[in-house]
Amino acid sequence: MSRLSRSPSPSNSPAAPKPGRTGKGGRPSKARESAISDEILDLACEMFASQGYAATSVERLAIACRVGKDTIYRRFPSKRALFDAAVERLRVRVLKRLECVTADGGPAIDRLRHTARWFLAVNVEPELVALRRIACSEVVLPNDAPAPVQPDPIMERLVDVVRQAQAAGAIADVEPGFLAAQLIHAVASGPSNEAMVGRQTYVTAAAQDAYFEKAWSLFLKGAAS
């Protein structure tokens, strides 16, 4: 991950301009503004994942990024907004990766299998596990109003792949959203829960493969056409 001006300028060299400046006294370009936000989110995500929500402060983030707090607050008005932005950016990146996985050709059932295996792997990735753990235990407060249910484009993409397998006659022609949910429960929920409580059971690809083969076989038996 990139960093914001981590190394101080040598004493015999002119001071480097702070991030967010053009170096000529003008406003930063849109591209630079976007890069600054990305750099802040990179380090924020790392700090949230390694230290937790409570221990990560905007002040500490500003020091680590070598920027003023106002540079962060102009982009993210609160720590909660910063965390939400980090989670949303991760979600967008995960969706882009999923689009690449589901774009593969071949028989529809093979594409579904490949997609299901990917869901297992991504659900035990340390960064995603850490942010999910924070969202479940630290960020959501008792007096928070329940968030409105929003369409999940990641799950919607899986449902599309399920529909394709159904159209090919590879699995049962029942409600595809239900089948997609059952597939996630079968191949990813157990390993994800293990990772959430800090166990390293499914860290290796070999351990994931062994679990997946059994879970996939069980799913196919239940979803047989």
In tens, the pLDDT along 177-206 reads 999 999 999 999 999 999 999 999 999 999
Using CA atoms, how far residue 30 sits from 20, 21, 35, 37, 39, in Å, is 10, 11, 9, 11, 14
Model pTM score = 0.78
CATH architecture type of domain 94-222: Orthogonal Bundle (1.10)
Task: Please report the sign of the dihedral spanned by the C-alpha atoms of residue 91, residue 96, residue 99, residue 100.
Answer: negative
In tens, the pLDDT along 4-57 reads 433 333 334 333 334 444 444 456 677 777 788 899 999 999 999 899 899 999
**How many C-alpha atoms does 31 have within 13 Å on its Cβ side?**
1
In tens, the pLDDT along 124-162 reads 999 999 999 898 877 655 555 556 667 899 999 999 999
C-alpha 218/C-alpha 209 separation (Å) is 14
96 is written with which tokens?
């882009």
C-alpha 155/C-alpha 148 separation (Å) is 17
Q: Where are the domains positioned within the chain? A: 1-77, 94-222
What are the backbone dihedrals phi and psi of residue 224, each rounded to the nearest 5 degrees, phi first?
-60, 140
What are the start-end ranges of the H helices in 2-68? 30-51, 58-65
CATH of region 1-77, choose from 1.10.10.60, 1.20.950.20, 3.40.50.300, 1.10.1380.10: 1.10.10.60
